[in-house]
Amino acid sequence: DTEVTQTPKHLVMGMTNKKSLKCEQHMGHRAMYWYKQKAKKPPELMFVYSYEKLSINESVPSRFSPECPNSSLLNLHLHALQPEDSALYLCASSQIRGTEAFFGQGTRLTVV
Amino acid sequence: AQSVTQPDIHITVSEGASLELRCNYSYGATPYLFWYVQSPGQGLQLLLKYFSGDTLVQGIKGFEAEFKRSQSSFNLRKPSVHWSDAAEYFCAVALNTGGFKTIFGAGTRLFVKA
């Protein structure tokens, strides 16, 4: 199994809603990542988890709250988002000393 | 800091013609190098990667890339483009420091004309 699975594929939420994005992998990878991709832009790193601990936060606003409950699962909790947060959110995973990150298909988020 | 430059925002080629997409990187050592393709509304698909060994790398869908250390380049090539190759192409570098931090270039949009 070389897949990273993200759910949901699409999400529409209001600015006062709380929602969560989910990412799962069963490749035994101990590093997991969240990226944000705006339209016509490259993906930008948001968070890195290594051994279920947050190791990199790229100055992401606190309305985005990541969580890594176990080595296979990565969540991104969303609260009080703004319309400009609408984007494709990509999850990825890798071995800690790996040579490649595996990306999921993304969640298309629209904030209304 | 490491960075990736894709000098061409978009390129148009005729179907059946050859293709070369340019990528330059700035890094203190030889990084891990990648090319990804992304169709509209889709996730990223890895075309090929390089981290050591033979500097000419073969990938999927008939793509290849050549690493040139002296030029800090990792250009993507395909001898004959198909209409289905129209997509966004991202060059990326990665640093492995207890996690794999991938940095993407701005991307090159490929248009294929009949």
B12-22 pLDDT, tens per residue? 999 999 999 99
Q: Which two tokens stand for residue A56?
A: 């990199």
Q: Rounded distance, CA B108 to CA B112, Å? A: 13
A33 touches chain B (CB under 8 A): yes
pLDDT of residue A5 exceeding 90, the answer is yes
Band the pLDDT of A85: cuts 50, 70, 90.
very high
Q: What is the pLDDT of residue A97?
A: 77
| Placement of tokens 């999921």 in the chain | A104
Residues of B in contact with A103 (CB under 8 A): 36, 43-44, 46
Residues facing A108 on adjacent strands: A10, A88
Q: What is the pLDDT of residue B43?
A: 86
Under 8 Å between Cβ of B93 and B106: no
pLDDT of residue A2 exceeding 70, the answer is no
Q: What is the pLDDT of residue B60?
A: 95
Residues of chain B whose pLDDT is less than 50?
Answer: none
A7 touches chain B (CB under 8 A): no
